[in-house]
Chain A
């Protein structure tokens, strides 16, 4: 990808940050609710997703800064790490056995998965 102008970079940042916002935000919401109801398994899963979401945010910043800085190795070096991190997060989002009757839990996990899939598609276009 050619170096991007400021407006294009701004738009790209916005598009990439939206699914990241959903991943981190919904995992924090799930974590809050799980702590309140002492649902330890959900709390652990939500905590992992939050950590992975934050790591994805850091990787994206690295990818975007690499776009402007050829000495950082370029996007080519960051993209495989991003794909790997998204795959790992998607595996973490698999529903836990025994909680499958919790509609809110399943819906929020589904929203996070959709955000990860959207992010994956965006990364493929970088």
Chain B
């Protein structure tokens, strides 16, 4: 299972990637929205973890563009943000995110969400 992590903060990227790899996920890393669009098309990840507070193109805008592209429109997206407000959650879901989580990430909760989404899309059953 490939997880595309879109995160501008280097330490957050490293930390999240290492923690997911320990749990059996493969990871691809993007530092901004533009790179996320490119890697989503070329790598076809099973799920995307999208930081909403990205420099330049925001995570919300990147999500909208991913949804508008037929090559990436079906890839599940979980929004990640340090902001816990309800409006962030609403914005993420309206842009096309499938779920939402806040940082600091609770790994058990995040893995549950990933497994739920990957089971729904069939990605988990393909490798089990």
Which residues of A lie under 8 Å from residue B82 when comparing CB positions? Answer: 13-14, 17-18, 21
User: Contact size class for A?
Assistant: 10 to 19
Residue B128 lies at the interface, judged by CB distance under 8 Å to chain A = no
**How distant is the Cα of A52 from the Cα of B53 in the complex, in angstroms?**
26
**B19 contacts A25, C-beta separation under 8 Å:** yes
**How distant is the Cα of A23 from the Cα of B93 in the complex, in angstroms?**
29
Interface residues contributed by chain B, number (CB under 8 Å)? 16
Interface CB pairs A-B, < 8 A, 30: A10-B85, A13-B82, A13-B83, A14-B53, A14-B82, A14-B83, A17-B82, A17-B103, A18-B12, A20-B104, A21-B12, A21-B82, A21-B103, A21-B104, A21-B105, A22-B11, A22-B12, A24-B104, A25-B15, A25-B19, A26-B11, A26-B15, A28-B19, A29-B15, A29-B19, A29-B22, A32-B19, A32-B22, A57-B104, A115-B11
Instruction: Mark A residues whose CB is within 8 Å of B.
Output: 10, 13-14, 17-18, 20-22, 24-26, 28-29, 32-33, 57, 111, 115
Which residues of B lie under 8 Å from residue A28 when comparing CB positions? Answer: 19, 107
Cross-chain pair count, CB within 8 angstroms: 43
**Closest Cβ of chain B: how far from A80's Cβ, in Å?**
24
**Closest Cβ of chain B: how far from A43's Cβ, in Å?**
15
